[in-house]
Amino acid sequence: MAKYIGKRLLYMILSLWMIVSATFFFMRIAPGNPFASEKKLPPEIEANLNAHFGLDKPWYAQYWEYLVRIVNWDFGPSFKYKSQTVNDLINEGFPVSFLLGMEAIFIAVALGVLLGIIAALKHNRWPDYTAMIIAVLGISVPSFIMASFLQYFLAIKMGIFPVARWESFMHTILPALALASTPMAFIARLTRSSMLEVLANDYIKTAKSKGLSSGVITIKHTIRNALLPVVTYMGPLTAGILTGSFVIERIFGIPGLGAHFVTSINNRDYTVIMGVTVFYSILLLVSILLVDIAYGIIDPRIKLAGGKKGE
């Protein structure tokens, strides 16, 4: 196991280096610079700024500086937001995005699995159809429309929740719901189909014929086996929710990291682009690793280390 994780870590560093390099070069190939605006700067001032931020150095020197910065976990100042460093932006924004993401994942998994189980157990009866209608709506309605929809009905019309902002727990519910709607629907469908598959297996029949109660069969034998695809989906889901929260953060005015992920590119805020990309890449790589480890725990048939047939 340790050997396996060590190997994976090594691959992670390699992938990270490739991501950093690709980002660095694409970022520099893109026309424009952090100081471009409708009102053009006098050339002397621009030259001065380039010198100050080291943008006048040859590319390999800048590239090397970036790599050193990443290793030291010090991404430097933001070009645009002069009161903050990139580390500040990440340290302040990520906890917010993380909380929002976790809440959304919790809603998506809890409701999604629940809907899926209900649908599978009441296969081809009305609970199944209702659950699947919700799922189809969830998948086909984009999150930003869901967000305006929730805002309009639950906040403006019914006055249950505030329209936007990030102040109290009540403020977090609408954005989390909006963010969760699509993955929840996906999980519901995933759970339903894999439940149905598992329910058709012989060992379920055996369990039934042993006289086990339907509750025990569902919980011990069916769900555990049916959740494997859901766990697989958790890795990309975590990454998707954390990076994809941009739109939701914008609509609800949430001071998270997702907004910086996109606006930094429009601003050509080089240091923020690099910082946020590196940060998200690490997050993604780690979450994939965790999913692979979780696999082995849930399903002992999957051997992580592999190649041990001889033993």
Partner 1 sequence: MNKRLSIFFSMLLVLSMFLAACNGGGDNAGGGDKGGDEGGKSDVPQELRVNINTEPPSLHPGLAEDSTSGTVLRQVLEGLTRINQDGKPENAMAEDVQVSEDGKTYTFKIRDAKWSNGDPVTAQDFATAWKWALDPANNSTYAYQLYYIEGAEAANTGEGSLDDVGVTAVDDKTLEVKLVNPTPYFLELTAFYTYLPFNSKVAEANPEWATDAGDNFTTNGPFHMTEWSHSDKIVLEKSETYWDAETVKLDKIEMIMINDPNTELSMFDNGELDWAGAPTGALPTDAMQALKDEGRLVTQPIAGIYNYKFNTTAEPFNNVNIRKAFAHAINRQELIDNILQGEQLPAMAIVPPSMFEENEKGYFPDNDVEKAKEFLQKGLEELGYKDASELPAVTLSYNTSEAHQKIAQAIQDMWKQNLGVEVTLDNSEWNVYLDKVNQMDYQVARMGWLGDFNDAINFLEMYRDADGGNNNTGWESKEFQDLLAKSATETDADARQQLLKDAEAIFMEEMPVAPIYFYTNNWVQAENLKDVAVSGLGDVQYKWAYFE
Residue 62 binds to partner 1 (criterion: CB under 8 A):
no
Select the residue interacting with partner 1 from 106, 152, 219, 302 (CB under 8 A).
152
Q: How far are the Cα atoms of 108, 148, 156 from residue 179, in angstroms, in the given order?
A: 9, 12, 19
Q: Does 80 bind partner 1 (CB under 8 A)?
A: yes
Task: Map the footprint of partner 1 across residues 112-141, applying CB under 8 A.
Answer: 126, 129-130, 133, 137
Q: Rounded CA gap, 248 and 251, in Å?
A: 5
Q: Per CB under 8 A, does 87 bind partner 1?
A: no
Distance CA 166, CA 171 (A): 5
User: What is the nearest approach in angstroms of partner 1 to the Cβ of residue 89?
Assistant: 8
Rounding to the nearest 10 degrees, give the CA dihedral for residues 205, 218, 137, 238: -120
Of the candidate residues 13, 36, 170, 302, the single one contacting partner 1 (CB under 8 A): 36
Residues in 186-225 that interact with partner 1 by CB under 8 A: none
Q: Which stretch binds partner 1 (CB under 8 A): 8-16, 82-90, 186-194, 295-303?
A: 82-90
Closest of 64, 66, 34 to residue 50, by C-alpha: 34
Among 148, 201, 206, 213, binds partner 1 (CB under 8 A): 148
Using CB under 8 A, count the residues that bind partner 1.
54
Identify any residues that bridge with 85 across adjacent strands, giving them in sequence order: 77
CB 141 within 8 A of CB 184: no
DSSP 77-95: B-SS-TT-BHHHHHHHHHH
What CA–CA distance (Å, rounded) separates 155 from 173?
A: 11
Using CB under 8 A as the binding rule, whether residue 73 contacts partner 1 is answered as no
For partner 1, the binding residues in 160-189 under the rule CB under 8 A are: 162-166
Least distance CB 27 / partner 1 (angstroms)? 11
Tokens for 252, please give them: 């609800």
- Interacting residue ranges for partner 1, rule: CB under 8 A: 30-33, 35-45, 48-49, 52, 80-84, 88-89, 92-93, 126, 129-130, 133, 137, 148-149, 151-153, 155-157, 159, 162-166, 250-253, 255, 259, 266, 268
